Amino acid sequence: MTLGPLEYVVVGFEGNRFTGKILAELRAAKEKGIIRIIDLLLIMKDENGNITAMELSDLSGEVAEAFGPIAGDLLEVFEPDDVEAVASNIPNNSSAGLLLIEQTWAIPLKEAILNAGGIPVAGGVVRPEVVRMIEADIAAQAADKNQAEVKVAE
């Protein structure tokens, strides 16, 4: 079995509340076969800095029901050190979701690379602040292009 690239994502929230608004997109990406959710932890830090981490299997009632469609094949691979690392980066009285996803869309590409004799040498994920800079550059280029197209149309 070929495993697609793995990526972890940490999403922080002010206050210790998860609204569930992200779940619909996770569910849609999973159903389309774009990603597989390997693990998901909910991490909360109270006003005194006390940390609580919950796997989806720890949830009950309505909360567990909301996560149901994405919880099916979680492997629970995160360790206490992962929780500590995330918790050290969020302020007191806040929460975070720690998500490990497999980029299943990339499995055929990875297999093609391997079948062609290629060897993955390096990989990584671009830091969020760099992504924001690139997004701003793309938006500026699009605005410049849009202005140029308007001038040509005149």
Q: Same domain for 103 and 143?
A: no
Contact 78, 9 (CB under 8 A): no
Q: Looking up tokens 């567990």, which residue turns up?
A: 64
> What is the CB neighbour count within 10 angstroms for residue 16?
16
Task: Give the whole-number percent of the chain exceeding pLDDT 90.
Answer: 55
Q: Same domain for 92 and 23?
A: yes
- According to the model, what pLDDT value does residue 154 have? 65
- According to the model, what pLDDT value does residue 70 have? 67
- According to the model, what pLDDT value does residue 53 have? 92
pLDDT band at 62 (very low <50, low <70, confident <90, very high): low
Contact 67, 54 (CB under 8 A): no
Which has the closest alpha carbon to 96: 84, 106, 87, 104?
A: 87
Q: Same domain for 84 and 47?
A: yes
Domain extent at residue 92: 6-120
- Is residue 68 situated within a structural domain? yes
Cα angle 130, 134, 137 (rounded to 5 degrees) comes to 140
Q: Same domain for 64 and 112?
A: yes
Average pLDDT score over the chain? 86
- Is residue 1 situated within a structural domain? no
* pLDDT over 80 (residue 148): no
Higher pLDDT, 34 or 74: 34
Q: Same domain for 108 and 139?
A: no
- According to the model, what pLDDT value does residue 146 have? 79
- According to the model, what pLDDT value does residue 99 have? 93
Average pLDDT in the 139-143 region?
Answer: 91
Average pLDDT in the 76-105 region?
Answer: 93
Higher pLDDT, 90 or 72: 90
* pLDDT over 80 (residue 16): no
